[in-house]
Amino acid sequence: MGALLSVVTLGAMAAFFALGSSNYSDRQPVVHFPTQPAVLAVKKAKDLDEVEHVSLRTLIETRCQSLFTEFHPLWWLFNGHLQTIYCVLGNFAKNDLIWYERTYLRLSDGGTLGLDFSPIKSESSHLKDDSPIVVVQHGLTGGSYEPYVRAILSRACAKKEDGGLGFRAVVINFRGCAGVPITSPLLYSAGHTDDTRQALMYVARQYPNAPLLGLGFSLGSNVLTRYLAEEGAHSRLHSACALACPWDLAANNNGLLTSFLGKHIYSKGMGGNLLNLLRKHLKPLIADPDHHVAKAAQMALSLKNPTLEAFDNTFTRIAGGPAPHFPFANSDDYYRWGSSHNVVKDIAVPYLAINADDDPVVRHVPMDGAGNGLVVMELTRGGGHLGWFQAGLGFVDRWTTKPVLEWLKLVGEELVHDPNPKGRPLFVDTDGYLKEEGKPHLGCRVIDGGGIIDGSGGEEGMLQGL
């Protein structure tokens, strides 16, 4: 309730504090291309085997033209604060409806992930085994139900004759999120990538001929970016798009704490959501009272209306991942380790990042792409944090939906992908766990549960949009 009241208060305060910043004379987005863009193989013509080689810049300028259009916010959501608050308080129950089919994965450390696939099996007979798959990483405490996820997937997964892309999608729900149970003394964090790695092992095994297209939101963008950098040429993803990535966790945390709204509204809103998530899954996290995670959980329960930093310093730095990185001495060490702005140079697949210049949560955005020829960075004029709300045909639409769909079509259908499987070889061990060569500590297997999921609802006790 405290987090909800804080967010409601934001609506009134934002209008007062930001009236002067609502009028932009120039709404043209800033798009940064590398000095030497990568040259990629693309299909020369539809249904033909001819291939041509084109620079990434030319491909985006000719096939993702919506990226260069101006964002015009709804008149009543005229600044980044109001755009962000609408993510949390907006009613999206009737828009972008979607159903998922959930698969639960038990990980070798005892943890559980929930993979939500769309379309469901009974409605996917029209899809080929090489149909592209959009692999989604959601925000801080979100899940597959988030309106910002559905806005893109409802269209990406629609049949081509209905105006969609005709793709598959899978949302990797973090431990404890979107109804996924906690089954080990471990949560998740902005820097821990092994859960993503194991989920991709499973998806790649199920669909070996399909290109996997990463799509991240906020914290999920950070995880996605770090995964790509860590894996380099071994990445199982063929491309990625990152929306509202927090990049430099330390700098953006400091940005939150040095303003009244940042500290008392946004930071406490996120900290409160994490605390509610902890309370919801407290029992398995404290099953062994002598475990260091159980002790951290008990300490976190004593926090009153914590900021994001206070929660991270008490709990995430300890329970956000396994050894040898965790536990960290403090949240600053965790933020420095988990940031993604300093690893962009190691990304080895086409990568597009979109941030808004008035995002009240992410104030520090790198725009040089680290000189990586595969990386394109965009900064829109306005949009807030995961907002970009504009007028649609009879409903509130998001500016980002069209350019992201154009990007997914480019990297999913038009690029020529290496037919050889990406990533290290996979095998199944004697206990039935899917394993990857060279990483003996990782493994996953399907467990009972899951089934058809209504993706258009929310999660009780959690604020959407965070």
How many angstroms separate the CA atoms of 255 and 261, rounded? 10
CATH topology of domain 2-454: Rossmann fold (3.40.50)
Going from the C-alpha of 172 to that of each of 7, 72, 256, 338, the distances in angstroms are 27, 31, 28, 19
- How long is the chain? 466
Per-residue pLDDT tens for 211-245? 999 999 999 999 999 999 999 999 999 999 999 99
pLDDT at residue 3 is higher than 50: no
At 416 the three-state DSSP class reads coil
- Separation of first and last alpha carbons in the chain: 15
Taking only the tens place, the pLDDT of each residue in 240-264 is 999 999 999 999 999 999 999 999 9
- With a cut of 50, say whether residue 118 has pLDDT above it: yes
| β pairing state of 426-428 and 434-436 | antiparallel
pLDDT in tens, 181-204: 999 999 999 999 999 999 999 999
Q: Is 247 helix (H, G, I), strand (E, B) or coil?
A: coil
Q: Once rounded to an integer, what is the mean pLDDT over residues 315-334?
A: 97
The pLDDT value recorded for residue 303 is 97
Q: Which residues of 340-369 are buried (b: 16+ CB within 10 A; e: fewer)?
A: bbeebebbbbbbbbbbbbbbbbbbbbbeeb
Average pLDDT of 288-307?
Answer: 97
pLDDT tens-digit readout, 349-368: 999 999 999 999 999 999 99
Across the range 73-77, mean pLDDT stands at 95
Mean predicted confidence (pLDDT) in 87-113: 95
- Per-residue confidence at 393, pLDDT binned at 50, 70, 90? confident
- Give the pLDDT confidence score for residue 1 in this predicted structure: 41
Which stretches of 208-282 are assigned E, i.e. beta strand?
212-217, 239-243
396: amino acid identity, one letter: V
Q: Hey, where are the domains in the chain?
A: 2-454
Q: Is-contact 52 40, C-beta < 8 A?
A: no
Positive or negative torsion for Cα 189, 192, 194, 197: positive
Cα–Cα distance for residue pair 4/11, rounded to 1 Å? 11
Distance CA 267, CA 274 (A): 11
pLDDT at 27: 87
Per-residue confidence (pLDDT) for residue 457, from 0 to 100: 82
Residue 21 has pLDDT above 50, yes or no: no
3-state class (DSSP) for residue 107: strand
CA-CA distance, 369 to 177, in Å (whole number)? 31
User: DSSP states of 24-61 as a string?
Assistant: -S--PPEEE--SSPPEEEEESSTT---EEEEEHHHHHH
Q: How many degrees, rounded to 5, is the angle at CA 146 between CA 123 and CA 5?
A: 155
pLDDT score recorded for residue 25: 56
